[in-house]
């Protein structure tokens, strides 16, 4: 690494990583969108690179999607969480394009979108996913290693996990309590759209321990925990394999690359 890239200034996140790029997948272009106040954009881009893909920096005010194959809306406090988390970002020019592309009529044309933390909040504000997030039930910001159960591996972002697999991924937020009305929650459960559930304790009061959900088509996934912070041994959560060695989040990024190559979803 020879420079500290400037978010939004550079056309791509071009800095190298220590991980070897997986052969054949580096052609997949995953967009990472930056809003004013986005924080985890460089981290998400690093995760894409470690998984073997090419990360493309997108600016919220860009008019077009620059031909990316999928989009990650990373964590942070876009627009300072003014009004409500995600409420203003939803109206960014690029979000309009993403909403259109994610809802495309044919399955093959639907843009895969992953919303992490603030990104999940933006997806619910955009009505791409149901429900909403309110302040944690304990009213404090919480940074902890959350244990999640994979409830649905049939989405564009979760194919590399096994159903029922338990993974450890950092969680860090103030407004992480997932809520929706009972009808919506029942529907999510009935259709198998609950993608991740907290296990071993509910860290924020989320309804039915929901940590992440998907849409029916499976191209859109949103979750509050941060898989991009569990992709590189030495900088992740503690794990059985060693201290700070947890890389359970990497599956999100390899899943999307495999999905794109394999043409499913």
Partner 1 sequence: MSQPIPVANPAVNQHPDTPKFNIDTVEHATGTPDTELPWAELGLKDNEYRRVVEILGRRPTAAELAMYSVMWSEHCSYKSSKNHLRQFGDKVTDEMKEHLLVGIGENAGVVDIGDGWAVTFKVESHNHPSFVEPYQGAATGVGGIVRDIISMGARPVAVMDPLRFGAIDHPDTARLVHGIVSGIGGYGNSLGLPNIGGEVVFDSVYQGNPLVNALAVGVLRHEDIRLANASGVGNRVVLFGARTGGDGIGGASVLASESFDAGKPSKRPAVQVGDPFVEKVLIECCLELFKASVVEGIQDLGAAGISCATSELASNGDGGMHVELTKVLLRDPTLTPGEILMSESQERMMAVVTPENVGAFEAILDKWAVEYSWLGEVTDTGRLIIEWDGETIVDVDPRTVAHDGPVYDRPFHRPEWLDGIQADGFSGSIQDAARPEGAPALRAAVLELMASPNMCSKDWITSQYDRYVQGNTALAMPDDAGVIRVDEETGLGVALSTDANGRYSYLDPYEGARLALAEAYRNVATSGAKPLAVTDCLNFGSPEDPEVMWQFAESVRGLSDACRELGVPVTGGNVSLYNQTGGVPVHPTPVVGVLGVFDDVARRTPSGWVEDGQAIYLLGTTADELDGSEWANLRGHLGGRPPKADLDRERRLAEILINASRDGMVDSAHDLSEGGLAAALVESALRFNVGARVGLDEVCARDGIDAFTLLFSESQARAVVAVPRSEEIRFTDMCTARAFPAIRIGVVDADAVSLDIQRHFTVPLDELRGAHEGTLPAYFG
Q: Which residues in this chain contact partner 1 in the complex, by CB under 8 A?
A: 1, 3-4, 6-9, 15-18, 36-37, 39-40, 42-43, 46, 76-77, 79-82, 140-144, 170, 172, 174, 226, 228-229, 232, 234-235, 238, 242-244
Cβ neighbours around 54 below 10 Å, total = 21
Nearer to partner 1, 1 or 190 (CB): 1
- The catalytic residue among 60, 226, 229, 232 is 226
Give the β-pairing of 177-179 and 194-198: unpaired
Reply yes or no on whether 229 is catalytic.
no
Nearer to partner 1, 179 or 245 (CB): 245
Asked if 111 and 166 touch (Cβ cutoff 8 Å), the reply is no
- The catalytic residue among 125, 151, 209, 228 is 228
Q: Which two tokens stand for residue 213?
A: 């959900």
Give me the least distance between CB of 39 and partner 1, in Å please: 3
Q: Phi-psi region for residue 30, left (φ > 0), alpha (ψ -120 to 50) or beta?
A: beta
Q: Strands, DSSP E only, in the chain? A: 29-34, 54-59, 70-73, 113-116, 132-134, 142-150, 166-173, 177-179, 194-198, 210-214, 220-223
Reply yes or no on whether 191 is catalytic.
no
Give me the least distance between CB of 10 and partner 1, in Å please: 9
Reply yes or no on whether 143 is catalytic.
no
- The catalytic residue among 117, 125, 151, 232 is 117
Kindly give the residue spans of alpha helices, DSSP state H, lying in 103-227. Answer: 118-125, 182-190
* Residue carrying structure tokens 């924020």: 204
Nearer to partner 1, 141 or 163 (CB): 141
Nearer to partner 1, 77 or 196 (CB): 77
Kindly give the residue spans of alpha helices, DSSP state H, lying in the chain. Answer: 41-51, 93-102, 118-125, 182-190, 250-262
Give me the least distance between CB of 82 and partner 1, in Å please: 7
Give me the least distance between CB of 240 and partner 1, in Å please: 11
> Catalytic positions, please?
117, 226, 228
């Amino acid at each position: 690494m020879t420079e500290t890239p400037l978010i939004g200034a550079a056309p791509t996140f071009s800095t190298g990583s220590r991980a070897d790029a997986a052969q054949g997948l580096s052609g997949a272009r995953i967009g990472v969108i930056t809003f004013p106040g986005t924080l985890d954009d460089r981290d998400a881009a690093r995760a894409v690179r470690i998984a073997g893909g090419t990360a493309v920096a997108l600016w919220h005010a860009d008019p077009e999607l620059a031909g990316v194959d999928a989009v990650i809306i990373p964590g942070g406090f876009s627009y300072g969480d003014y009004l409500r988390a995600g409420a203003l970002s939803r109206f960014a020019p690029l979000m309009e394009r993403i909403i259109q592309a994610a809802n495309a009529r044919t399955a093959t044309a639907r843009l895969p979108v992953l919303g992490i933390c603030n990104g999940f909040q933006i997806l619910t504000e955009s009505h791409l996913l149901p429900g909403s997030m309110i302040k944690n039930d304990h009213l404090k910001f919480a940074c902890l290693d959350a244990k999640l159960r994979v409830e649905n591996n049939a989405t564009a972002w979760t194919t590399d996990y096994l159903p029922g697999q338990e993974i450890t991924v950092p969680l860090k937020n103030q407004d992480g309590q997932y809520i929706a009305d009972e009808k919506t929650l029942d529907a999510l459960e009935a259709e198998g759209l609950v993608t991740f559930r907290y296990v071993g304790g509910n860290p924020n009061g989320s309804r039915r321990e929901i940590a992440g959900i998907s849409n029916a088509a499976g191209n859109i996934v949103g979750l509050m925990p941060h898989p991009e912070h569990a992709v590189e041994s030495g900088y992740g959560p503690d794990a059985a394999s060693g201290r700070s060695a947890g890389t359970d989040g990497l599956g999100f990024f390899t899943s999307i690359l495999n999905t794109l190559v394999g043409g499913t979803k």
